Structure 1
């Protein structure tokens, strides 16, 4: 994710700039926050946002309305925990807690990820910002026994938190 498209004016980082952006440009920016087209369209439909809290509320409402397919679209934009996407600064920043982790811990995380993916059919998704590899592994193990419906709602909440952080980062600059 970039903080803004390279050819867009700095003013699009403001709420007013986002609200005034052409529909296609806004959609592109929103898809950098969350890869679900349904989410991006729902958030865009709520503009203008009077304040940051309103944009966060639009995020929450859009996340709550995602179908299982839309949720899969949103998860598709995320790297496996412990394996940030090469060359993706957002992925690396959000998963900085795995940097320098003990190799045995990273192996355990990979094994737990594989078991989770086999059980649920998608990557383990957690708001990794500020978490260590050990706390992410503990959360993965805690969530593994969930039934599919419970885990889908947990993922929805994690995505909402990730989106809120990305929205704030967009508005606050690089």
Structure 2
């Protein structure tokens, strides 16, 4: 969708369009309320500002429907489609898939949530290295890193939605 078309949508339709970027009520509301945007960069700057105050509750809300890295997102909705597209270039094989599954389980036991990382532009080896490194984080450090990854994912997805 073009930026002009996004700017022209009714608020509810605009919210439905961008909610798959990140399921955060406050973020969606802020991005929709900031319209009209004069450029994609302005929209992304507003989205980044809206994400700046995210806390653990925002992370938990957003991860409620988020698949594990390495799992194929089920369904035909926009969020599942975006997730499959982002993970398509990761290049998992039987060895890295097994390592990812084991790492995901360890991460979930340690932190109580799925491991979140911006997969776009990363290889399986890079993701596994980050997973291993982040397992050494304290819970507070990891919450901060996961929120940063969520922000990156949201901005990439939003760019994809409004630059079409």
Instruction: Confirm or deny that 1:139 pairs with 2:127.
Output: no
Structure 2 unaligned spans of 5+:
none
Q: Distance in 2 between matches of 1:80 and 1:131?
A: 15
Map 1:17-166 → 2, pairs under 5 A = 17-87=5-75, 88-99=80-91, 101-166=92-157
Q: Distance in 1 between matches of 2:5 and 2:84?
A: 27
Q: Distance in 2 between matches of 1:58 and 1:152?
A: 23
Question: Which 4+ stretches in 1 moved above 6 angstroms?
Answer: none
Higher relative contact order (CA 8 A, sep 6+): 2
What residue is the counterpart of 1:167 in the other structure?
158
1:55, distance to aligned residue in structure 2 (A)? 1.1
1:97, distance to aligned residue in structure 2 (A)? 3.3
Indicate the SS of the match to 2:116: coil
Structure 1 unaligned spans of 5+:
1-12
Give the RMSD, CA atoms, in angstroms. Answer: 1.6
Whether the aligned pair in 2 keeps the contact of 1:34 and 1:77 (CA below 8 Å) is: no
Whether the aligned pair in 1 keeps the contact of 2:69 and 2:87 (CA below 8 Å) is: yes
Give the TM-score, by structure 1 length: 0.84
Indicate the SS of the match to 1:152: helix
Give the TM-score, by structure 2 length: 0.88
Paired residue total: 160
Q: Distance in 1 between matches of 2:149 and 2:51?
A: 10
Q: Distance in 1 between matches of 2:71 and 2:93?
A: 14
